[in-house]
Amino acid sequence: MFQPLDNVPPLHPTLEVRAQVGEPIEIGTIDHRRRRIVPIIGGVFEGLGDLRIRGRILPGGADAQVIHDDGLTEADARYVLETDQGELVYVRNRALRHAPPDVMAKLLAGVRVDPALVYFRSVPTFETSAPDLQILTRSIFVGSGERYPSEVVLRFWRVG
């Protein structure tokens, strides 16, 4: 019989990212899946908990999305954070997003929807040469997202 685990890892709040996004570039529908690219044009971030950093999101990133007929969105975002001290962090954030069909239709049309109605979870990975930020490269993270018409708000937790 399955026994509850005593050593469930805790989640530690680590980072909040507020990415400014441009208009989606619609590639088209292939095999019943819609492909689009959402430019990441800037934004800001701030460390949470023990991670005391802040800075900006460099322009030039993008979120490559595949949207299934039922509205399920597979996202693969890649962008660079620059701390106020000039340290660079490369982020790759893979996510799943879905909601009831009427909510997804509004979201994909750029209409503001209540984030509580949308499942938006992610698994980010980080790369940096900054010695003080190595916890980002040596830990597992999970994320939760909120999509607004011109901004995506992401919160990341380190799995303890």
Are 22 and 151 contacting, i.e. CB atoms less than 8 angstroms apart?
Answer: no
State phi, psi for 102 to the nearest 5 degrees.
-65, -35
Q: Which two tokens stand for residue 131?
A: 């010695």
- Tell me which architecture the domain covering 11-159 has in CATH: Beta Barrel (2.40)
The pLDDT value recorded for residue 160 is 93
Distances (CA, A) of 146 to 7, 10, 59, 98, 135: 30, 22, 20, 11, 25
Flag whether pLDDT at 154 surpasses 80: yes
Alpha carbon 160 to chain centroid, angstroms: 20
Q: Which pLDDT tens digit goes with each residue over 45-104? A: 999 998 999 999 999 999 999 999 888 999 999 999 999 999 999 999 999 999 999 998
The pLDDT value recorded for residue 137 is 98
- Secondary structure letter of residue 62 according to DSSP: E
Distance CA 139, CA 117 (A): 29
72-76 contacts: CB < 8 A, separation 24 or more?
Answer: 72/96, 72/97, 72/98, 73/97, 73/98, 73/104, 73/108, 75/122
Flag whether pLDDT at 1 surpasses 90: no
Closest CA to 143 of 133, 130, 158, 129: 158
Q: Which pLDDT tens digit goes with each residue over 121-141? A: 999 999 999 999 999 999 999
Distance CA 51, CA 14 (A): 6
Flag whether pLDDT at 147 surpasses 90: yes
Binned at pLDDT 50, 70 and 90, residue 5 comes out as confident
